[in-house]
Amino acid sequence: MLIDSNIIIYSTQPAHEALREFIRARAPAVSIISYIEVLGFHRLSETERILLDQFFHSAEVLPLCDSVAEAAIQLRQLRRINLGDSIIAATALVGRRALVTHNVEDFSWIDGLTIIDPLEQSP
């Protein structure tokens, strides 16, 4: 599975213990885009930054490679999608991974992409 940035952020909130367990129970992977988006947020507290650093060190951070770039280009040619989302979706497609996100509507149009929303489904 590939974890979207919003799921990483939700998992840091105290109310989402079940989400943290959902992630812990699987081998998490993230796109390099999520790594940049989450750690690059300018309002992170030092405690949040430390926790997120620990998460990213234990997760598999998938790089932006040529095949992901090509898939992202194809997605952007099909429909208006922001750059970050196109790369995250392409990373999931190329790696044949389900995308774990709460932003289901942003990705539901993409053929071949399996989407899991653990905040709406019972993990």
Phi first, then psi, for residue 7 (nearest 5°) are -70, -40
In a domain? residue 26: yes
pLDDT in tens, 31-67: 999 999 999 999 988 988 998 999 999 999 999 999 9
In a domain? residue 75: yes
Handedness of CA 80, 93, 62, 106 (dihedral sign): positive
Of 101, 95, 99, nearest to 114 by C-alpha is: 99
- Count: domains in the chain: 1
The tokens 């951070």 sit on which residue?
61
Burial 91-123 (b: 16+ CB within 10 A, else e): bbbbbebebbbbbeebbeebeebebbebbeeee
- Domain of 97, in residue numbers: 2-116
Report how far residue 32's alpha carbon sits from residue 114's, in angstroms, rounded to the nearest whole number.
Answer: 19
In a domain? residue 122: no
pLDDT in tens, 71-110: 999 999 999 999 999 999 999 999 999 999 999 999 999 9
Report how far residue 90's alpha carbon sits from residue 48's, in angstroms, rounded to the nearest whole number.
Answer: 28
In a domain? residue 30: yes
In a domain? residue 123: no
- Is this structure's pTM higher than 0.85? yes
Q: What CATH number corresponds to the domain at position 19?
A: 3.40.50.1010
